[in-house]
Amino acid sequence: MRSIFVLLLLAAGYSLLAESNPAKESLYIYLRAHVTDHVNIDVSEDQLRRLLPLLERYRKESPEAHVSATVFFSGALSQALVQRNKQTHIVDFVKTYVQRGIIEVGYDGFDEPTYSNRPTVDLTESSTPEQRWLLRKTAEDSFLNEARDPLTGAWERGKPGGLKEVRTVFGEPACIAGLIPLMKYGPGGMFNGSVTKAEPGLAPVVMPAPSGMTYEVGDDTEAVTLLEAAHSKAIMIGILDANVAHLPGFGIGRADFGHAISPMPNTAPELYWQDNVLRVSEASETIRLVQAHDGVEAMKKLVDHAGRSTIHVVQVELASEQNYLTPEFTHGLSYPPLKYAYEHVQSPNLPKDALRRTNEVDAAYAREESLLKWLTDDLMPADPGSRFVSSTDLSAMVAPGTGFTISMAGLRSALTEYLERWGNDTFPPAIDRIDGHYLSMAEEFQMLADALAEFHRTGKLPDSVKVTPVYGPIRVLTGHGPNEGEISVDAVARIAAALAKELHDQSPGAVPKNTIPIGIPVNGAMLNPAQFLKLMAQAVLNPSPGAKLNIRMSYEFSGAGTLLPKSRPAGDSGFVWTLKPAEIEQRTHFRASS
Amino acid sequence: MTHRCLSILGSGMVFSLLTAQHVFGAVTVLTVPWDPCPDPSCRTAPTTPHTSYPINSTTESTIIMGATVPSAVGSSDKFMVDWHFGDGSPDATFALTNPYDISTTHQYPASAAVGTIWTATVTVTDTTTSTNGSANYYVIQESNDCTKLDSANRPVCLASRVNVAIDWGLWYMHQTMWRSTSTAGGKTVSWGGWDGQPGSSPCPTVKGNAWDCGAYGSIDASNVQAFEVNGHLQNGPSTDPYSDDVARGLARMTLFIANEKNLPVTYNYDPAKQNYTCADHTLPQTSDAGACTGHGGRHYYNPSATACTSPPCKVTYDGNGNGLMAYSMDGSGEYSYTTSPFLDALVATGTPNAVAQTGNYAGDTFATIVQDIMDFYGYSQYFDDYDVDRGYARGTNQSQGGAWLYGPQQGDDNSTSQWAAIGFISGFRGFGLTLPASVTDFNQVWITNAQDLQESAPTGPDPYSKGGDNLGAYGYRGSLRYSNAAGPFAVTPSAMVQMAMDGVGRSHNTAFGDATTDFDQRWNTTETYYADNFCNAVSPYNQVVNAPRAYMYGLYSFTKSMLLHNAGGSLAPIQYLRTETPNVFTGNPNVPANSIDWYAALSAANGGKDPCDGVAQTLVSYQSKPVYGTFDGHWFGNTYYISYSTQAAYETSWALIMLQQTVFVSCVKNLVGRGAPSGSGPPSVTLTWTNQANATSYVVARSSTLGGPYTSVGSSSGTTFVDRTSGLSNGSTYYYVVLPQIGSAEVCQSNQASIKIPQ
């Protein structure tokens, strides 16, 4: 029963210890491949035909390493593969590998329908939180279910596509990525470009007129509710390696969020809970997405600089389409090939000079294989605990996000320190750990509301409280709320009792009902839920009905919530209430065959 | 911290007994002076001692005593160093290993009475030639009593702590400076620095590190500026070891200033018509093209702006007519960020007619370079405006016009823009150069458009739209609502620096006891936002995103904005940070209600009554318990976790500038006066002070309230003034400041003199 403060002290002690006896936490290697090019289909099929047998061979040669990869497909590619299955049996080929557990299926929506003509959240015409929620839900629904013209992105009414098509063709995805709509702030059809560091004077480097469009990254609560309704158990890709929305401060945010979300050695900067879905990031401060074709040295360099005071999850991209491309087509305006296709609708296939000769492709794959060999033969035997992990492995290894019970004694003990840390600060502590479980702010709110509801009914606090899934508020009040006035414990309990009922309502609706409330009216003032969370914590610690509690200002964003890179406006980012570390509970170690 | 004179007067000691630093013998020994008196008018003043103070009844602070032996540089002789401390303790003796560093540390007796003066002597003997030389190092026992307040209403203990911190920090920079002789532009030049650019040498280390050394050339400018604002100049006394450091640093840093032919910038909008919000203070919406229908129509903040009444307007910034603009080529590639530190360091020399030794500007005056840098920032300001009348939501992106980004005309970024703003302010106030109205007119548009407001009541049923938003906050590339990367505390104070440039400052508000509330609340809301968060704990879970005082970069811009606050064109530094939110600052009866002395506040843990430490004690604490390394005088790592942050190397210089409470000039510190009651005439107050370099006149201002605001009561072309204006009465206390002027620009604000007129 320790709060995060104690844990931080322990972590500090841990690092001091590490200086004299360097602790070396595990590296988990997450192998993955993206096969999403439905235009240059020969390349896509070749990716699969080279990669899958390679994985199988390594799985057989090093069974203790648990070699497995998540292969991400798009809906358009799945359709294209189905169409050529009669000739090449490529779908059947892939399925046998899925069935044998050599690969897991993933869905990535980033490359479809097109980069600029894709589901769009038009914020210029929306005003209420519910309207914005529904706009986003509609956009996410398009990714998950609708077919689009594979080159223009035009909606093909009545036809299935996206995640639904991948499901139909290959089965239930274990990991989902790329549910990234466009967000529209103004007129125009292109999205913002990156800011380059221009040379002064030579010529004015003028930014083009802004389009008012940007990719919406960082949060996807509306999609999560759709996936939940479809009973998905998939994990999701967290923070991307690339700054696709051109967010300022992306690198700092990514790095510092990783620190904030991994307070203990058995938590990884790349692994966290958001909206009750496990997320695995491509990058953190020291970890970047590894391209396998860069070979062993690139991986060694990353391992050397990883920092091993916590577990890390390293994503390794196999069978990249870059293996097939000449240097001019592996970066810049001509990359990826689908971008070329979308911009050359009349002749979308890559020109011949874009493709490498077979021996060059072979060389790229040889570098990838050398990396796999180094990982299995050198790194893992020398680094006990490090291993490959699949999406399903990660799900199984982390402690459950919800569904557990917290004892009242444990809760009250932790709350004392929680409030001590909060003090008079205007921001809430990010996370709490009670009875051996990490809790998000949303979960803490739900748990305290339940406890006080019982107190309101019976005059006594319950012996324990169950933690259940809740979403953040659909509108964040970004101000700190009032900083004067008082409220009795009895009144707090009465309000909490009313809120608790809603927090458990999982019945269908346009927007979910089990969300943290947007605001809580108290004595004519509107408190934000962070303020009320603090009052509830104080009430549980001092359950005297007549006791008076001071109302203090507080914002809703914790440090972790602020740091996570996101392009969605702060007022719509209620998901930050649901962030918390993912604790690795079951560690299975690599054992070298003797 | 410059309370020295007052402390000395209070101690009753007669300092004229002290002689100036002695250098005698064949071996030249230099000791660091506390106050080198760089201005010729004070060269005859006695040398002022360094501070030591008792931490408690048994433990004295450990002080650093810096000294050098320039005559030993390059010598193959053997030398021995002997420090005689003058307090009866044994001498410290050691062999010389580095002629640039014969420093020692010492703890004087904690039991010594306040005001006790020790004369330490460092003697260096050339054992090869049997010659020697000595120099004195003066130390005074100062008070660590936090219950006593000085004339500025600040705990006297703070001055002691700050003085010792400054001594340590400046000496650390001296220790880590690399020095060499090189050829630049065909001339031999003795230079030095802290950069890692071509032509540099490795920085000497202290305890294995040189935390204030960085990769880029702008670190030289920043470190030089820190010496300068603490009174150590390139043309300072030759007996001051830091004079050579500054001269070397200036020679090195000008190498990194490039120039190009001037180019025009074309502005595409009229700032008079784009600088607005709705008359009910709500956010203009795209739904009515910003007409604020149903919200009282538009309220224009700057309707008389004349910068571009018929757009497009083509402007060529070339204040000195040489056809050039100058910018940093320090290796970082971040031109807008790294150019103004060079400008600040040049202005801080106080010598506009001095001549650069190296680089493209070798042979040109500092004033020429400074003007060309201002021309660069003028050219670089983003020229267009994409706001609600063109269909874009306000505050959404980096192209809303009027600010700066990495390179010329790329867009708007609040972090970058503070550097442009401070550059303009420095050139204007420090060298008396013109601050173009177009720069401030267009920047005001950005300041308005990027500020978070409460959202307008929507057409739909959003009952929470007035539940309170981040009123007054700023984000990186727009409002905080749309651009909240890495939190608001790097960029909100940056916007305050821009406001200080634009003349947007405190205004009337009934929340502060004023009779009325002005429409323009832009500064007040932003100050309130920062104030509400000021005391957030510096703790592992908060980090820099949630705790303003945890982040040196933001703290530096905040300090600049407080010192350079400018309400409607008059320099009016702020002592007490205030907030409209009730019950934020409580506990200290010695400060105005619900406010905090942002610089001098002391928490209970450090002996005060404030809810948290102000900037000074925060910096003192950071130095004494460094994030990286052990205590040796540096600051490093009070930034993001991110290990490769390039900002951290600049922290030592930023801290030293903040502790001195100035940005680009060391201001008049010794304003004193006496009152005379009415007799044959009305009551009067006679004021005297010492000369401010380059000042052409002095505005004298008075307040009946501690800390101001002050009202001008006249001006003087000399260094005395007699106030016989109305409003003085026998038995009352008045608070005076003087503001040296260069032309029409106020350079800075002096110390506050508290004067009681006898009955």
Same-domain pairing of A409 and A393: no
Is A571 part of any domain? no
Residue B42 scores a pLDDT above 60: no
Tell me the H-state helices in B432-491: 437-449
Q: What is the pLDDT of residues B560-592, one digit of tens each?
A: 999 999 998 899 999 999 999 999 999 999 999
pLDDT at B467: 53
pLDDT at B457: 47
CB A576 within 8 A of CB A472: yes
Same-domain pairing of B588 and B722: no
Q: What is the pLDDT of residues B178-220, one digit of tens each?
A: 999 998 778 899 999 999 999 999 999 999 999 999 999 999 9
B709 prior amide bond cis, ω within 30: yes
Q: Find the farthest-apart pair of alpha carbons in chain B and give their distance in angstroms, rounded.
A: 92
Same-domain pairing of A390 and A468: no
Structural domains in chain B (count):
3
CA distance B238 to B259: 33
A160 near B CB under 8 A: no
Same-domain pairing of B655 and B723: no
Same-domain pairing of B547 and B601: yes
Q: Residue A252: its chain B contacts at CB < 8 A? A: 485-486, 640, 642, 645
Residue B400 scores a pLDDT above 90: no
A547 near B CB under 8 A: no
Is A312 part of any domain? yes
Chain A (195-214) residues lying within 8 Å, Cβ to Cβ, of chain B: 195-202, 204-207, 209-210, 212, 214
Closest approach of B399 to chain A, Cα-based (Å): 7
The answer to whether the Cβ–Cβ distance between B476 and A187 falls below 8 Å is: no
Domain CATH for B736: 2.60.40.10
Same-domain pairing of A337 and A416: no
The span from the first CA to the last CA of chain A, in angstroms, equals: 41
CA distance B417 to B336: 8
Q: Could you say which of B382, B460, B471 has the minimum Cβ distance to residue A479?
A: B471
- Percentages (nearest 5) of helix, strand, coil residues in chain A: 45, 15, 40
Residue B7 scores a pLDDT above 50: no
CA distance B474 to B488: 6
Lowest mean pLDDT among A210-214, A349-353, B455-459, B672-676: B455-459
Is B171 part of any domain? no
Residue B64 scores a pLDDT above 60: yes
Q: What is the pLDDT of residues B664-717, one digit of tens each?
A: 888 888 899 999 999 888 999 999 998 888 899 999 999 998 888 899 999 999
Domain CATH for B510: 1.50.10
Is B178 part of any domain? no
Closest approach of B240 to chain A, Cα-based (Å): 39
Is A118 part of any domain? yes
CA distance A216 to A184: 9
B539 near A CB under 8 A: yes
**Residues B637-648: what's their mean pLDDT?**
78
Q: Which residues pair with B81 in a beta bridge?
A: B94, B124
Same-domain pairing of A106 and A221: yes
Residue A146 scores a pLDDT above 50: yes
ipTM: 0.91
pLDDT at A498: 96
Chain A (366-385) residues lying within 8 Å, Cβ to Cβ, of chain B: none
Residue B631 scores a pLDDT above 90: yes
Is B366 part of any domain? yes
Chain A (117-136) residues lying within 8 Å, Cβ to Cβ, of chain B: 123-124, 127-129, 131
- DSSP letter at A140 equals H
Q: Residue B260: its chain A contacts at CB < 8 A? A: 200-202
The span from the first CA to the last CA of chain B, in angstroms, equals: 33
Q: Could you say which of B327, B376, B407 has the minimum Cβ distance to residue A205?
A: B407
For A527, the closest chain B residue by CA position comes to B467
**Residues B133-143: what's their mean pLDDT?**
96
B541 near A CB under 8 A: yes
The answer to whether the Cβ–Cβ distance between A248 and B476 falls below 8 Å is: yes
Is A569 part of any domain? no
pLDDT at B3: 36
Q: What are phi and psi of B68, to 5 degrees?
A: -135, 165
The answer to whether the Cβ–Cβ distance between B467 and A526 falls below 8 Å is: yes
Residue B11 scores a pLDDT above 80: no
Closest approach of A118 to chain B, Cα-based (Å): 20
Higher pLDDT, A6 or A502: A502
B632 near A CB under 8 A: no
Domain boundary (A356, A381, A397) is at A397
At B544, the amino acid letter reads: V
Is A561 part of any domain? no
**Residues B299-311: what's their mean pLDDT?**
97
Is A585 part of any domain? no
Is B224 part of any domain? no
Q: Residue A262: its chain B contacts at CB < 8 A? A: none
**β-pair type (B711-716, B720-723):** unpaired
Same-domain pairing of A327 and A441: no
B625 near A CB under 8 A: no
Reported confidence tier of residue B462, pLDDT bands at 50, 70, 90:
low
Q: What percent of chain A has pLDDT over 90?
A: 74
Exposed e or buried b for every residue in A47-70, given b needs 16+ CB within 10 A? bbebbbebbbebbeebeebbbbbb
Same-domain pairing of B544 and B593: yes
For B532, the closest chain A residue by CA position comes to A426
Q: Could you say which of B382, B384, B546 has the minimum Cβ distance to residue A559?
A: B546
pLDDT at B48: 84
CB B358 within 8 A of CB B182: no
The answer to whether the Cβ–Cβ distance between A563 and B487 falls below 8 Å is: yes
Same-domain pairing of A150 and A34: yes
CA distance B324 to B333: 20
Residue of B362, B390, B378 whose CA lies nearest to B313: B378
Q: Could you say which of A185, A255, A480 has the minimum Cβ distance to residue B642?
A: A255
Domain boundary (B95, B129, B144) is at B144
Domain boundary (A397, A431, A458) is at A397
The answer to whether the Cβ–Cβ distance between A477 and B476 falls below 8 Å is: no
Q: What is the pLDDT of residues B516-532, one digit of tens each?
A: 999 999 999 999 999 99
Same-domain pairing of A70 and A124: yes
pLDDT at B15: 29
For B258, the closest chain A residue by CA position comes to A200
Same-domain pairing of A59 and A196: yes
At A466, the amino acid letter reads: K
Is B135 part of any domain? yes
pLDDT at A153: 87
Q: If you average pLDDT over every residue of chain B, what do you get?
A: 91
Two tokens at B307? Answer: 């910068």
CB A235 within 8 A of CB A70: no
Reported confidence tier of residue B748, pLDDT bands at 50, 70, 90:
very high
Domain boundary (B659, B683, B714) is at B659
Same-domain pairing of B742 and B651: no
Same-domain pairing of B328 and B413: yes
A187 near B CB under 8 A: yes
Residue B12 scores a pLDDT above 50: no
CB B225 within 8 A of CB B344: yes
Length of chain A as a residue count:
594
Domain boundary (A340, A375, A397) is at A397
Q: Which residues pair with A107 in a beta bridge?
A: A73, A176
The answer to whether the Cβ–Cβ distance between B485 and A248 falls below 8 Å is: yes
Q: Which residue has the tokens 């929680």?
A: A418
Same-domain pairing of B597 and B719: no
What range defines the domain where residue A146 resides? 27-397
Q: Residue A201: its chain B contacts at CB < 8 A? A: 260-261, 263, 325, 327, 408
Q: Which residue has the tokens 């982040």?
A: B551
Is A322 part of any domain? yes
Q: What is the pLDDT of residues A162-201, one digit of tens each?
A: 999 999 999 999 999 999 999 988 876 666 655 655 555 4
Same-domain pairing of B386 and B501: yes
Exposed e or buried b for every residue in B31-62, given b needs 16+ CB within 10 A? bbbbbbbbbeebeebbbbbbbbbbeeeeebbe
Listing DSSP states for A207-227 in one string gives PPPP-SEEE--S--HHHHHHH
Q: For chains A and B, what is the number of CB pairs under 8 angstroms?
A: 227
The answer to whether the Cβ–Cβ distance between A207 and B391 falls below 8 Å is: no
Residue B266 scores a pLDDT above 80: yes
Listing DSSP states for A457-522 in one string gives HHSS--SEEE----B--SS---S------EEEHHHHHHHHHHHHHHHT-----SS-SSB--S-EEE
Same-domain pairing of B404 and B551: yes
**Residues A310-320: what's their mean pLDDT?**
97
Is B280 part of any domain? yes
Lowest mean pLDDT among A17-21, A386-390, B102-106, B334-338: A17-21
Is B207 part of any domain? no
CB B691 within 8 A of CB B700: no
A485 near B CB under 8 A: no
pTM of the model: 0.93
Q: Residue B462: its chain A contacts at CB < 8 A? A: 127-129, 475
Same-domain pairing of A390 and A273: yes
For B456, the closest chain A residue by CA position comes to A127
B409 near A CB under 8 A: yes
Domain boundary (B624, B659, B694) is at B659
Residue A223 scores a pLDDT above 80: yes
For A255, the closest chain B residue by CA position comes to B642
What range defines the domain where residue B129 resides? 4-144
Same-domain pairing of A439 and A333: no
In terms of Cβ atoms closer than 10 Å to its own Cβ (0-12, 13-18, 19+), residue B109 is middle
Q: If you average pLDDT over every residue of chain A, what do you get?
A: 89
CB B249 within 8 A of CB B226: no
Is B254 part of any domain? no
CA distance B317 to B387: 26
Angle at A434 between CA A430 and CA A438, to 5 degrees: 50
Structural domains in chain A (count):
2
The answer to whether the Cβ–Cβ distance between A559 and B543 falls below 8 Å is: yes
Same-domain pairing of B594 and B731: no
CA distance B222 to B215: 13
Two tokens at B547? Answer: 């705790």
Provide the 10 A C-beta neighbour count for residue A408: 16
**Does an H or E element contain A531, and which?**
helix A529-541
pLDDT at B632: 98
Angle at B560 between CA B155 and CA B633, to 5 degrees: 60
- DSSP letter at B282 equals P
Q: What percent of chain A has pLDDT over 70?
A: 91
Provide the 10 A C-beta neighbour count for residue B677: 14
Top residue of B374, B397, B639 to mutate, by most chain A CBs within 10 Å, is B397
Reported confidence tier of residue B429, pLDDT bands at 50, 70, 90:
very high
A4 near B CB under 8 A: yes
pLDDT at B749: 93
CB B355 within 8 A of CB B365: yes
Same-domain pairing of A91 and A175: yes
Q: Residue B470: its chain A contacts at CB < 8 A? A: 478-479, 570
Q: Could you say which of B460, B541, B582 has the minimum Cβ distance to residue A131?
A: B460
The answer to whether the Cβ–Cβ distance between A185 and B396 falls below 8 Å is: yes
Same-domain pairing of B605 and B648: yes
Same-domain pairing of B514 and B459: yes
Reported confidence tier of residue A158, pLDDT bands at 50, 70, 90:
confident
B542 near A CB under 8 A: yes
The CA-atom distances, in angstroms, between B617 and each of B597, B622, B623 are 11, 8, 10
CA distance B549 to B537: 8
Is A568 part of any domain? no
B611 near A CB under 8 A: yes
